[in-house]
Structure formats: C-alpha cells, structure tokens
Amino acid sequence: MAPTSEILTAERILEATEEVLRRHGPAKATVVDVARALGVSHGSVYRHFRTKAALREAVTKRWLDRTSGQLSGIAAADDRVPEDRLRDWLAALFAAKRRKAGEDPELFATYMVLTDENGSAVGEHITDLESQLTRIIQAGVENGDFAATDPEASARAVFQATGRFHDPSYAREWKQPGIEGDFAAVMDLLVRGLRP
C-alpha cells in the first residue's frame, strides 16, 4: 500500500531522494520522481521542503552529517590518549570517505555535484569537523601531549594538511597503491609537529 502524506516524514523523503538521486543522477532527479517513489503527490514533498534546492541541501547535509556523527564519538572519548584519538579520528575520516567513494560511486558522484551547490552545508560540515579536531588537540595541550599555542588554528592546519585523504576531489587517488603509506607518513609528521 502506498504511503499517505499523513505518515510522510522528512526522513522518509530524504531516504527516497537519495535513492532517486542514485538512479537518475542530480541533473535528472526531480521532486516529482521523489514523490512518485513515495507514492504521494509532489505537493506533499513540498510541505516538508519548500523548494527543490532545500530538498537537495537537506539530503546533502544528511550525507555529510553521517560522517560527522561517526567521528564525534572518537573526538568525545576523553578517557583516551589524545594522540591515539587524533590518529583514530583521521583514520576514520579517511576510511569513511574511501568507503563512500568505493561502495556507491554513483551516489558519491551525485554528492560531489550537490556539495558544490550547497556551500553552506559543506561549510557547516567542515566547521564541525574542525571543532572535533580542536577538542582533541585541546585535550592534548591540557595533558601536555601537544604544545599547540592555538588549538583551533592547529586543528584547521591538521584538517587542511590531510585534505588529500578526505577531500572528495582527491577520490581517484584513494585507490592508488601506497596511499595508506602516504597517509601514515603525513599523520606521523603532523603528530610529531604537535608534540612539545
């Protein structure tokens, strides 16, 4: 039985939108396609998301938030040594991005287009990730493991220095032989630079 607009939720719309984007790509996917996939009128979708752009931004934010959510637990693990948290956090970020690019390349390509359209969602995502890094580096400063005079600036620098391993524009490189060794070398260099 087709769902009705009374039980239609924003989350269900976002799930359907993701599937429609996977099937049709960002250029051809429409709100009508999303509504059809849900068995509702396109007006029902517009009650939750006022415009197609708002729907696309919400699905982009949802996709980016999945990565942030996975990493937040590592950043918040105050009972762990900051250096280990930093290494684990960066490794988890790299693994999450590689997984997204490798397991669902069509959807990953779609999200590349959507993230270009939705600079505010991407900016908020980067701010969140840098905030998580700041928390880890600040903990390292507080217990004497790191000597950063400005943990926030150091977090930004670490994030930027590791861009090759999480910025989607480098996705083609993530399958290259030796990428894990390159990642380990960059991480070792960054950690040595943070130590007193």
Tell whether the model's pLDDT for residue 6 goes beyond 60: no
pLDDT beyond 80 at 177: yes
**pLDDT tens digits, residue range 110-138?**
878 877 886 788 899 999 999 999 999 99
pTM given for the model: 0.87
- The yes-or-no verdict on residue 94 having pLDDT over 70 is yes
DSSP 97-113: HHHHHHH-HHHHHHHHH
Mean per-residue pLDDT for 90-110? 89
Tell me: the pLDDT tens digits for 49-64?
A: 999 989 988 988 898 8
39: left (phi over 0), alpha (psi -120 to 50) or beta: left
pLDDT of residue 3: 47
Do residues 94 and 171 touch, judged by C-beta distance below 8 A?
Answer: no
